[in-house]
């Protein structure tokens, strides 16, 4: 097959999802390293975007370079980074509570907010993936929201792909809190939010012509690409694809894995 027939040759820039697209759990998806390195060696621009908040940008960089991907740390974006920028400008010094793991809490504290478990003092509730989630956390968050705290989420994914399947993510917790408090989530900062779109666009200096977005989730990855007006590719290596509510979201390409970008 000639290079002219390969998908990656049609584009100048690429936006890759991470979990379920480049790796799943602790394992690299087969030939994802070859795919990314081939694209980068051809002089094309790449950005890697994750809704996952359980690790820092540096953690993701170390993981991906250990997998053999020839990338730089400034090519990685996650929803924590986008959220922190907003909070630094709008909630500086305020008390917050998070349904999230410790690394996420630590990063929000680094944005000069104060962590609290007292619903009477909490001004902001943040929700994200939390594998240490329990009923006590839910009630602290619910009481703070009932007291008038702002109700934000780092991401809205219902599940997160892991080695042996999927685990509950922020979307499920958000639904529980909405039913418990009778208040709706006010804002979120991951894919496919306007906040994330702006961050990505800024990384490309506003030039998204001939850009392809590759991801495993219709309602976040593919929806965001369509909102951005760019082509999209849906991979089968991540979450299961459900059509309920997603019938009108159609990717440009259906591919087995990212390897199809350079080997189709």
Cβ(120)–Cβ(226) under 8 Å? no
219 vs 4 pLDDT, higher one: 219
Q: Is the pLDDT of residue 35 over 90?
A: yes
Element holding 19 (H helix, E strand): none
What CA–CA distances, in Å, run from 22 to 52, 135, 155? Answer: 13, 33, 19
For the segment 202-226, the average pLDDT, to the nearest whole number, is 94
Q: What is the pLDDT of residue 157?
A: 87
In the chain the first and final C-alpha atoms are separated, in Å, by 8
Cβ(71)–Cβ(65) under 8 Å? yes
As a whole number of angstroms, the distance between CA 172 and CA 233 comes to 26
φ and ψ at 163, to 5 degrees? -55, -40
With cut-offs at 50, 70 and 90, classify the pLDDT of residue 45: very high
Q: Tell me which of 4-8, 57-61, 99-103, 199-203 is least confident.
A: 4-8
For the segment 104-130, the average pLDDT, to the nearest whole number, is 97
For the segment 91-111, the average pLDDT, to the nearest whole number, is 96
Quote the percentage of the chain above a pLDDT of 70: 96
What CA–CA distances, in Å, run from 246 to 196, 251, 255? Answer: 20, 11, 18
What are 240-260's pLDDT values in tens digits?
Answer: 765 555 668 899 999 999 999
With cut-offs at 50, 70 and 90, classify the pLDDT of residue 4: low
For the segment 99-103, the average pLDDT, to the nearest whole number, is 96
- What phi-psi label fits residue 227: left (phi over 0), alpha (psi between -120 and 50 degrees) or beta? alpha
DSSP state of 8: G
DSSP state of 240: P
Complete domains list, the chain, with CATH: 3-79+191-261 (3.40.50.1000), 81-188 (3.40.50.1000)
φ and ψ at 118, to 5 degrees? -95, 110
Element holding 15 (H helix, E strand): strand 13-17
For the segment 73-95, the average pLDDT, to the nearest whole number, is 96
As a whole number of angstroms, the distance between CA 135 and CA 121 comes to 20
Q: Is the pLDDT of residue 140 over 90?
A: yes
Q: What is the pLDDT of residue 244?
A: 54
Cis preceding-peptide flag for 192 (omega within 30 of 0): yes
Between β-strands 150-153 and 114-115, what pairing exists: parallel, antiparallel or unpaired? unpaired
Q: Count Cβ atoms below 10 Å from residue 51 Cβ, excluding itself.
A: 32
Q: What is the pLDDT of residue 26?
A: 86
Q: What is the pLDDT of residue 243?
A: 53
């Amino acid at each position: 097959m000639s290079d002219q027939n390969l998908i990656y040759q049609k584009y100048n820039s690429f936006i890759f999802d991470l979990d379920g697209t480049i790796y799943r759990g602790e394992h690299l998806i087969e030939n994802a390293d070859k795919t990314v390195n081939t694209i980068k060696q051809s002089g094309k621009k790449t950005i890697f975007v994750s809704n996952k908040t359980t690790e820092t940008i540096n953690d993701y960089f170390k993981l991906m370079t250990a997998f053999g991907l020839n990338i730089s740390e400034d090519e990685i974006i996650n929803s924590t980074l986008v959220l922190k920028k907003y909070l630094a400008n709008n909630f500086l010094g305020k008390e917050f509570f998070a349904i999230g793991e410790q690394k996420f809490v630590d990063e929000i504290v680094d944005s000069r907010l104060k962590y609290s478990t007292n619903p009477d003092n909490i001004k902001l509730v943040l929700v994200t993936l939390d594998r240490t989630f329990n009923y006590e956390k839910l009630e602290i968050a619910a009481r703070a929201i009932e007291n008038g705290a702002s109700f934000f989420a780092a991401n809205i994914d219902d599940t997160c792909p892991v080695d042996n399947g999927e685990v509950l993510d922020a979307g499920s917790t958000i639904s529980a809190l909405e039913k418990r408090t009778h208040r709706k989530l006010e804002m979120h900062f991951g894919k496919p939010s306007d906040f994330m779109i702006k961050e990505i666009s800024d990384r490309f200096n506003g030039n998204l012509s001939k850009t392809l977005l590759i991801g495993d989730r219709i309602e976040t990855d593919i929806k965001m690409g369509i909102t951005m007006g760019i082509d999209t590719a849906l991979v089968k290596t991540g979450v299961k694809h459900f059509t309920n509510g997603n019938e009108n979201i159609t990717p440009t390409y259906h591919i087995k894995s990212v390897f199809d970008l350079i080997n189709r």
